[in-house]
Structure 1
Amino acid sequence: MKKIITVVAFMATMAGFSQTDTSTTNQLGEVKLQSQRYIKSKKNSTQQIQTISQKDIEFGNYQNTADILSNSGKLAVQKSQQGGGSPVIRGLESNRILLLVDGIRMNNLIFRGGHLQNVITVDENMIESTDILFGSSSTPYGSDALGGAINLITKRPFLLSENNNRPFSGSLNTRYSSANQEKSGHVDFRFSGNKWATLTSISYNDFGDLKMGSKKNGNNDFFGERPNYVETVNGIDNIVKNDNSLVQKFSGYKQYNAMQKILFKPNAITEHSLNLQFSTTTDIPRYDRLTDLKSNGDLNTATWNYGPQKRILAGYKFTKQKAFLNSDLSIGANYQNVEESRITRNYKAPNQVSRIEKVNVFSVNADLKTKLGKGELLYGLEAYYDDLSSTATRINVLTNVPSAASTRYSDGKNFTLRTDAFATYFAKINEKTSYNFGARAGYASLKSEFVDKTFFPFPFSDINQKNITYSASAGIANNSTDNVKVAFNIATGFRTPNIDDLSKVFESAKGVSLIVPNPNLKPEKNVTGDLNITLFDNKTIEFDNTIFYTRLFDVIVTDNFNLNGQNNTIYDGLLTKITANQNLGKANIFGYSTALKINLTKLLKFYGNFNFTYGRVEANDKNPKRPLDHIPPFYGKTGFNFENKWINLDLNMLYNGKKYLEDYSNSGEDNLVYAPANGMPAWETYNFKAAVKPYKDLMLFTGVENILDIQYRTFASGINASGRNIYLGLKYQL
């Protein structure tokens, strides 16, 4: 651990440059950003970007970062277990969207195409704001950002001049929730000096088993109850009746988070910063697999846990104004250490298998910004190196005798290397019209070695890939009148295959399909066009509409595959169909989103948003036209908000449309096996939230989520959502 901390202290993180607009603020408003590679100004941005503010995050009092995203109504989020949350942007998910924390890539060489829970490793209490970039974002951020990017921006230290001349400050948060007996606590404190500042943050979350809703959802079937579960005593499995079938037994877990930031600003133009983050959990049961049944109706699985999900991030960043060729300069490097594991054992099986993945990520970058003509040029270089160690053990739970087991990924050397150069230019044609264009080019290589092929005699011993990568973007925004803004943006994106795509051996559904390596994959690419029209009337109404179309090329889809001339194999004692990731031609995604805000009075506001997505893989010689995976049904949020100096009240409705069975992908990624017989029903929940400020340093939070206690499940999820949840919270400003 000491070695890790030593490395952490000297490794670095990248955060790019702000793009700020210095023109007069119009009615849409201006937002100045720190350390981002995109413009968030509503006046000049051509890309659709939505922000969840610190005020909204704190008022929502959500249990984790995934819940912040799902409750915004701006994104769909999938869950296979309570300790999960896989966001979807414009019908693309997991390794097709980019997760960032403080501008640093979280995506690594084992980010899979299925569903990910990495977003919950960023403490919701540490987040200052969240930016959601919709559409291809490879030009600013490189590989993976086909559907967009989510930038989780954490809180920062304040110098004395920024902190009302207070040398010490901080806050204390606590929260309790009834649906899962959540008990959470958080403390942060700041030291502020003239040149030095620090921020320390520590959080603890204890989530019990989640209770689902008890009321039938309209005329839909009631599903997802947990009538019994497997209990193991002294290595012996027994099926036990659940005292309350609404309680989703073995869905609870605990999480621990910490963050330390240090800022040193020796003068007005130079800044040094250190960013240290740590997150870990207890074992997180994968709830959907614990509910799988055998053909005779017995439970199939005794143990299916994600082991402690550990994340360490460390980074140093140096910034200086006018440091090089009259450009502002930011130099950074960062180190991330991620550990994931899967612990599985079938019901009454003697052997438990643990598969452990340890990932190291190193990166360096240089970002520069300068005035050029009538605009600003942002340009830079970056490089990433990821490596992976994949191991596995099998232990007899009765005798404690170990034996060999197959690894999830290749058991030899695994690494990826990416180097890129990028540039983006932002400028104005006149006071009403602005534009931008950018480009990125790079090189990516990958190596994966298979040392022990005892379990799977692949006809190859290693996989080597080398790819030239590139992307470009261009956009124009016109504020033709004081009440209308029209923007158009077109961007290309790319995603180079990673170790998960190329060398994974994974059972997507028990006895149904087994994914095996395919060394012949090519990068995925896409082109996305957006048209945005915003109508507004002074500060009373804002009506924002975006239509987009995405064309995917060489799209990677899991499909039937032959290995050594066979299309089936025996895996864990069951005859299982062989599948593999393959480039299966082209796909199309079309969608529309709208958001409406109306200030009914000075204190009362109405808001609402709606999102629709449609995606299909085109027909080819091998397959007919069919649904693309990860496409959610329509969804959104609408509500009323009342706020004055002392109180904030919010009454809202979250909703999803129905997902019909014929619209599910046959790849397995949509988790059709966990959908009801008639498809995933439409649902809506009614929710009330309140925050009261009895005096300036104390805030009390309370609310009721899913007031009607409706039973429902979000699309592609393997666990039912929370039933009626009453929560209480407190924040004390130190």
Structure 2
Amino acid sequence: MKKNYLCLLGLLALTTQLSFSQEVTDTIKAQNIEEIKINSKKITIDKNQTPSQLEIISKEKIEFQNFQNTGDMLANSGSLFVQKSQQGAGSPVIRGFEASRVLLLVDGVRMNNLIFRSGHLQNVITVDENFLETALIQFGPTSSLYGSDALGGSVNMITKRAKFENGFTGNVNSRYSSVNEEKSGYFDINYGTTNFASLTAFSYNDFGDLKMGRTKNHNGEFFGERPQYVETINGVDVLLQNDNKYNQKTSGYKQYNFMQKLAYKTQSGFTHSANFQYSTSSNINRYDRLTDQTGSGLKSAEWYYGPQKRLLGVYSLEKENVFTNTDFKLDAGYQNVEESRHNRNFGNYNLQNRTEKVAVYSLTANFETKLKKGNFYYGIENYYDDLISTADKINIKTGVVVPLDTRYPNGKNNMMRNDVYVSYSSKRNEATNFSMGARAGYAALNSSIADNSIVALPFTEIKQQNFTYSGNIGLVHNTSENFIVKTNLSSGYRVPNIDDLAKIFESGSGTLIVPNKDLKPEQTITGDLGFVIKSKSNKHQFDATYFYTQLYDAIVTDAFTFNGSSTYDFGGGDVRNVVANQNLGKAFVTGVNGNIKTTIVKNLQFNGSYNITLGRVTTEGNKRPLDHIPPYFGKLGFNYSPKWATFEAYMLFNGKKHLKDYSTSGEDNLVYAPKTGMPAWETYNFKAATKAMYGFTLFAGMENILDTQYRNFASGINAGGRNIYGGAKYSF
């Protein structure tokens, strides 16, 4: 342990030796005030004067950190946790809520759709981090702002905009990483005049197999090595020995991303804009399932996700002062998402294929006006989701195709949401800020089974109609120049979707998940209490937030009966315990977040964050662990920024996840951790980047310097070992 801390102190000494006299930058002076752009309008956010907890990851931070994908970018902020089942994954966890209980948005448009599951998702990586202008993370229920699913919080990924500038400008990026032989490239080109703007962007990522650390984690034993893997040679599955057990064989993948934005200003003051985004990938192996053992071999010969395709098209119309000092924005959007799963067992040459195609149509109108001393926001949102679920089984030797049970009902599946919302924020006096908001809506779901012969269900149709509502109220009071008290009370809701109500799924924990048409929406009420202590010079600050969330009608996966039986026999000795999503009483999640920023000497700053979360489900007076609750985690680091470069030395850390704190639902993936739970870990990292010189910026760094072998809680793949990376950016 002492050796590890001495390494971090050595990195600090390196950055200190590079230090020289310079005035404290404006960024440090105003370290809590950041300007972001939402709905094409610049909004200045002072985090100290905002009732709810939030984190802003700016374009400058994104470029400097230079991560491989958006999931890694979020995880390394130190503010939220990210789970991975394979290298091509990234499932954000905010305050103990994950997947369908965390709302993902891109440019303010919902990514969550009717098949967002409660398990683990990798949709966030379909938004390339190079495309981002800002990432806004909001903690706690944000249903009043965004509607259903925002129980733990929301992640709004705001992409670069087309700029009204004369002539052409652009950027070219490249990056190489040793830990997976990553080869990534990105370029964008912007053309602008006084009333027309166009931005074109493209990126390509080629990730090889991920190498894990080789050094024993001092908190636990070696685990997760890859001694064997499967290849199909001349049509026959063969179990092969891995010549490097630290190389996580078959974990590599490729990804392609494209974005086109157009904007046009009319003489009457209206702005028309179009936002087109497309992302696709190669097949991405489900690494955790490919490591499942059976006897002396491996269970699966193939288990992969097909290309994850995401298409987004949005037309926007906006105008400032459209009437009575009111700004207006209209968005009409279309999304098309395709996901597929493909698997077969070792020696079984029937490849199972399940494909989901989702179309999402949206129409939103937003208004903002001045009202007395504050800002009044209001609007309407309409979303319509449609799903087609298909499945078949093909013999890879004979080519014979036969029908297969679909993941979701194989008939018509759709879901509609219609909401109205209002929000008001005001500075009551010099010392007090006040905000409140509310949302009300109607949600309808329809699902039908066209062919009920494969897995005979006791019903062929599911229909639900729900009225939804939420609200929030917050207060910030500056008791003095150096002390601020913040409080916020908010409610959230999540309407059951097709995945909750109608999924049929064989889980990795040996269970069969069956539909439950009687699910009700789950709701939360969250209270936040925080404070900020800062120096008059703003060089030193400490803030902390305590939160408590009460979850009502919590949707939990638990034992169930199917056609009167608690088990289901697939034949051939494959007997599964039956489980289903159910509203099981109440649950609570509580925790604390703390942050510290202090300027040690000129240009040298220390930053730290710490997060701890506890969650329990209460059923008939008995308490048991809630799933998706990470162990304590955080980040400590030193940042040094002279005129010509930026240097950062930091430590990421996670606590131990004890066996008694694992959920029994299987979502915490104890099967992919040591039997006593996930060990604690910490990594030491160093990064550097030059400031732009003649248009060039150089990036370099080393991650997991000690090459520690570890795995994140609930993940099915070991994290990368020592990684040396380098990159360059040219702007013109």
TM range (shorter): over 0.9
Partner of 1:35: 39
Partner Cα separation in structure 1 for residue 114 and residue 32 of structure 2:
40
Partner of 1:384: 383
Structure 2 unaligned runs (5+)? 1-28
Does 1:156 pair with 2:154?
A: no
Partner of 2:15: none
Task: State the secondary structure of the residue aligned to 2:199.
Answer: strand
Partner of 1:86: 91
Paired amino acid for 2:123:
N
Partner of 2:683: 685
Partner of 1:337: 336
Change (3 A) 1:572 1:231: farther
Partner Cα separation in structure 2 for residue 30 and residue 256 of structure 1:
31
Paired amino acid for 2:187:
V
Partner Cα separation in structure 1 for residue 244 and residue 532 of structure 2:
50
Q: What is the CA-CA distance between 1:542 and the residue it aligns to?
A: 1.4
Q: What is the CA-CA distance between 1:158 and the residue it aligns to?
A: 1.1
Partner Cα separation in structure 1 for residue 447 and residue 175 of structure 2:
45
Which range moved further: 234-243 or 440-449? 234-243
Q: What is the CA-CA distance between 1:488 and the residue it aligns to?
A: 0.5
Does 1:171 pair with 2:175?
A: no
Partner Cα separation in structure 1 for residue 280 and residue 357 of structure 2:
14
Partner Cα separation in structure 2 for residue 207 and residue 478 of structure 1:
49
1:633 touches 1:656 (CA, 8 Å); kept in 2?
yes
Q: What is the CA-CA distance between 1:268 and the residue it aligns to?
A: 8.0
Q: What is the CA-CA distance between 1:43 and the residue it aligns to?
A: 4.4
Paired amino acid for 1:669:
E
Q: What is the CA-CA distance between 1:263 and the residue it aligns to?
A: 1.2
List aligned pairs for 1:24-423, cutoff 5 A.
28-29=32-33, 31=35, 33-35=37-39, 40-160=45-165, 166-267=166-267, 269-294=269-294, 296-324=295-323, 326-423=325-422
List aligned pairs for 1:423-438, cutoff 5 A.
423-438=422-437
2:316 touches 2:329 (CA, 8 Å); kept in 1?
yes
Paired amino acid for 2:249:
K
Partner Cα separation in structure 2 for residue 517 and residue 315 of structure 1:
34
2:653 corresponds, among 630, 651, 655, to: 655
Change (3 A) 1:39 1:583: farther
Q: Once the two structures are superposed, what CA deviation does each residue of 1:648-698 show, in whole Å capped at 9, x if it has no partner?
A: 111000000000011000001101111102210000000010112472310
1:30 touches 1:43 (CA, 8 Å); kept in 2?
no
Partner of 1:628: 626
Task: State the secondary structure of the residue aligned to 2:292.
Answer: coil
Identity of aligned residues (%): 54
Change (3 A) 1:482 1:572: farther
Q: Once the two structures are superposed, what CA deviation does each residue of 1:22-68 show, in whole Å capped at 9, x if it has no partner?
A: xxx98853646432999833243111111111111000110000000
Paired residues, number? 701
Q: Once the two structures are superposed, what CA deviation does each residue of 1:610-668 show, in whole Å capped at 9, x if it has no partner?
A: 000000001317xx310000000000000111111211111000000000011000001
Change (3 A) 1:268 1:53: farther
Partner of 1:716: 714
Partner of 1:674: 672
List aligned pairs for 1:444-483, cutoff 5 A.
444-483=443-482
Q: What is the CA-CA distance between 1:264 and the residue it aligns to?
A: 1.0
1:91 touches 1:632 (CA, 8 Å); kept in 2?
yes
Partner of 1:15: none
Q: What is the CA-CA distance between 1:529 and the residue it aligns to?
A: 0.5
1:32 touches 1:41 (CA, 8 Å); kept in 2?
no
2:30 touches 2:538 (CA, 8 Å); kept in 1?
no
Which range moved further: 533-542 or 276-285? 533-542
Paired amino acid for 2:38:
Q
Task: State the secondary structure of the residue aligned to 1:695.
Answer: coil
Paired amino acid for 1:652:
Y
Partner Cα separation in structure 2 for residue 682 and residue 182 of structure 1:
27
1:36 touches 1:103 (CA, 8 Å); kept in 2?
no
Task: State the secondary structure of the residue aligned to 1:673.
Answer: helix
> TM-score, normalising length from structure 2?
0.94
Partner Cα separation in structure 1 for residue 328 and residue 657 of structure 2:
49
Change (3 A) 1:673 1:30: closer
1:385 touches 1:417 (CA, 8 Å); kept in 2?
yes
Partner Cα separation in structure 2 for residue 374 and residue 149 of structure 1:
28
Partner Cα separation in structure 1 for residue 93 and residue 113 of structure 2:
18
Q: What is the CA-CA distance between 1:495 and the residue it aligns to?
A: 0.2
Does 1:535 pair with 2:533?
A: yes
Partner Cα separation in structure 2 for residue 34 and residue 347 of structure 1:
50
Task: State the secondary structure of the residue aligned to 2:33.
Answer: coil
Partner Cα separation in structure 2 for residue 645 and residue 443 of structure 1:
54
Partner Cα separation in structure 2 for residue 730 and residue 65 of structure 1:
19
Partner of 1:6: none
Partner of 2:635: 637
Which range moved further: 715-724 or 483-492? 483-492
Partner Cα separation in structure 2 for residue 66 and residue 557 of structure 1:
26
Q: What is the CA-CA distance between 1:487 and the residue it aligns to?
A: 1.0
Task: State the secondary structure of the residue aligned to 1:245.
Answer: coil
Partner Cα separation in structure 1 for residue 219 and residue 554 of structure 2:
38
Q: Once the two structures are superposed, what CA deviation does each residue of 1:571-599 show, in whole Å capped at 9, x if it has no partner?
A: 37411111000000100111000010111
List aligned pairs for 1:535-614, cutoff 5 A.
535-537=533-535, 538-571=537-570, 573=572, 574-614=574-614
Partner of 1:733: 731
Partner Cα separation in structure 2 for residue 228 and residue 525 of structure 1:
45
Task: State the secondary structure of the residue aligned to 2:678.
Answer: coil
Change (3 A) 1:657 1:577: same
Structure 1 unaligned runs (5+)? 1-24, 161-165
Partner Cα separation in structure 2 for residue 639 and residue 33 of structure 1:
28
Paired amino acid for 1:342:
R
1:26 touches 1:43 (CA, 8 Å); kept in 2?
no
Q: Once the two structures are superposed, what CA deviation does each residue of 1:298-343 show, in whole Å capped at 9, x if it has no partner?
A: 1000000000000000001111122245421111110000000000
2:34 touches 2:44 (CA, 8 Å); kept in 1?
no
Does 1:498 pair with 2:502?
A: no
Change (3 A) 1:698 1:27: closer
Partner Cα separation in structure 2 for residue 116 and residue 26 of structure 1:
36
Which range moved further: 129-138 or 688-697? 688-697
Task: State the secondary structure of the residue aligned to 1:277.
Answer: strand
2:36 touches 2:134 (CA, 8 Å); kept in 1?
no
Change (3 A) 1:26 1:187: closer
Partner Cα separation in structure 1 for residue 706 and residue 126 of structure 2:
31
Paired amino acid for 2:577:
K
Q: What is the CA-CA distance between 1:411 and the residue it aligns to?
A: 0.1
Change (3 A) 1:43 1:708: closer
1:539 touches 1:599 (CA, 8 Å); kept in 2?
no
Paired amino acid for 2:495:
T
Q: What is the CA-CA distance between 1:527 and the residue it aligns to?
A: 0.3
1:526 corresponds, among 521, 524, 527, to: 524
1:43 touches 1:479 (CA, 8 Å); kept in 2?
no
Partner Cα separation in structure 2 for residue 332 and residue 98 of structure 1:
19
Q: Once the two structures are superposed, what CA deviation does each residue of 1:222-276 show, in whole Å capped at 9, x if it has no partner?
A: 0000001111023210100001000001100000000001111224842111100
Q: CA RMSD in A?
A: 1.5
Task: State the secondary structure of the residue aligned to 2:347.
Answer: coil
Partner Cα separation in structure 1 for residue 161 and residue 602 of structure 2:
32
Partner Cα separation in structure 2 for residue 104 and residue 572 of structure 1:
45
2:562 touches 2:568 (CA, 8 Å); kept in 1?
no
Partner of 1:22: none
Change (3 A) 1:28 1:129: closer
Task: State the secondary structure of the residue aligned to 2:298.
Answer: coil
